[in-house]
Amino acid sequence: MNTAINNTMSEIAKETYQTVGKPLLDSPKMSIKNTNVFYGAKQAIFDVNLDVGHNQVISMIGPSGCGKSTFLRCLNRMNDTIDICRVDGQLMLDDLNIYDKKVDVVELRARVGMVFQKPNPFPKSIYENVAYGARIHGLTDNKVELDELVEKSLQRCGLWKEVKDRLDEPATGLSGGQQQRLCIARAIAVNPEVILMDEPCSALDPIATATVEELIHELSENFTICIVTHSMQQAARVSQRTAYFHLGKLIEVNDTSTVFTNPEHKLTEEYITGRIG
């Protein structure tokens, strides 16, 4: 299937774009080279080159429709579920070429977990939600281990104290913030290496947002995190590096403090000062 994609891609003209700042790192966790994404005939991402560092938080900002979510969904091949979406380029996770046709998507997604914009707990119990991934991947051998994994995952998300007496209750009964932390617990229960977060706080109130941001900060000790956000304050609070996208192009990548205090590119400056939005 991949060769078919590549053949089709070669027929479509590709624009190149030189990103300003420091898109590349020395020993990256993920390395994205010359990546283009198409929806049918429409190109959504233009020639993106970007490295993601080990146990770092990188945030992706930019105006609506700039392709930052599309880009994020390439990193664990979630775009495969969209028929007309085609990805071209080299995307590496350590030594693994993500879009190689031999890659097992299931294994890839176990290594690169995802948290979505709207909390989407399964209509099952709290326990079953967290245990879901572990059951699918056979991570535990018995009930005791599974119990431990569920407890550990919930504890890491600061949810254990709130839900330990009602693990059998439906997860849909939790508040929005609790649901989103449950979704994060569900993702880390699989013990991924990278966690992708697509605007994880946009459906939450400020207090729940603060809790989740705190959690992201703690998780970055053990996980590599890519977060798409609309909130520049959030990007500034949680991430070490920030990437600015504009109309499908990666305009600028730099340390978060540099991007927000001393942007190199005019578009970045206009965006963070509120003139594009």
Partner 1 sequence: MTLPTLLIIVLAGAGMAYMLGRMRSQQIAKPIGGVRNLASLPSYYASLMGLWALLPALLLIVLWSVFDGAIINSLVRAELPIEAKSLSSEDLGLVMSQVTNAAAGIGPADTLGVEYQGAIQKLSSLNSTSVKAMPILAIIVLIVGCLLGYRSIRATHNARYGVERIFNVVLIVCSSIAIFSTFGIVFSVLFESIHFFQKVPFTEFLFGTHWSPQIAIRADQAGASGSFGVIPLIVGTLLISFIALVIAVPVGLMSAIYLSEYASARVRAWVKPALEILAGVPTVVYGFFAALTVAPAIRNIGDGIRDWGAENGIQILANLSVSSESALAAGIVMGVMIIPFVSSLSDDVINAVPQSLRDGSYGLGSTQSETIKKVVFPAALPGIVGGVLLAASRAIGETMIVVMAAGLAANLTVNPLEAVTTVTVQIVTLLVGDQEFDSAKTLAAFALGLFLFVITLALNIIALRVVKKYREQYD
Residues that bind partner 1 (CB under 8 A): 76, 78, 81, 83, 105-110, 113-116, 118, 120-124, 132-133, 136-137, 172, 183, 186-187, 190, 196
Residue 15 or 107 having the CB closest to partner 1: 107
The CB-of-253 to partner 1 minimum distance in angstroms stands at: 25
Residue 14 or 137 having the CB closest to partner 1: 137
Helix (H) or strand (E) holding 214: helix 206-219
Nearest to 257 by CA among 275, 232, 229: 232
**CA-CA distance, 171 to 105, in Å (whole number)?**
27
Judged by DSSP in three states, 198 sits in strand
Residue 114 or 149 having the CB closest to partner 1: 114
Residue 118 or 230 having the CB closest to partner 1: 118
Nearest to 121 by CA among 171, 85, 196: 171
Burial class (CB in 10 A: 0-12, 13-18, 19+), 84: exposed
Amino acid at 208: A
Phi, psi of 162 (to 5 degrees): -75, -30
CA triple 257-259-262, angle to 5 deg: 90
The CB-of-116 to partner 1 minimum distance in angstroms stands at: 6
Residue 177 or 263 having the CB closest to partner 1: 177
The CB-of-113 to partner 1 minimum distance in angstroms stands at: 6
The CB-of-106 to partner 1 minimum distance in angstroms stands at: 5
Pairing of strands 85-93, 30-39: antiparallel
Sorted by sequence, the CB contacts under 8 Å of residue 152 that are 6+ apart come out as none
Cβ proximity of 191 and 146 under 8 Å: no
Residue 120 or 240 having the CB closest to partner 1: 120
The CB-of-111 to partner 1 minimum distance in angstroms stands at: 8
* One-character DSSP codes across 218-257: HHTTTSEEEEE-S-HHHHHHH-SEEEEEETTEEEEEEEHH
Residue 136 or 247 having the CB closest to partner 1: 136
Amino acid at 62: G
The CB-of-147 to partner 1 minimum distance in angstroms stands at: 19
The CB-of-197 to partner 1 minimum distance in angstroms stands at: 11
Judged by DSSP in three states, 82 sits in coil
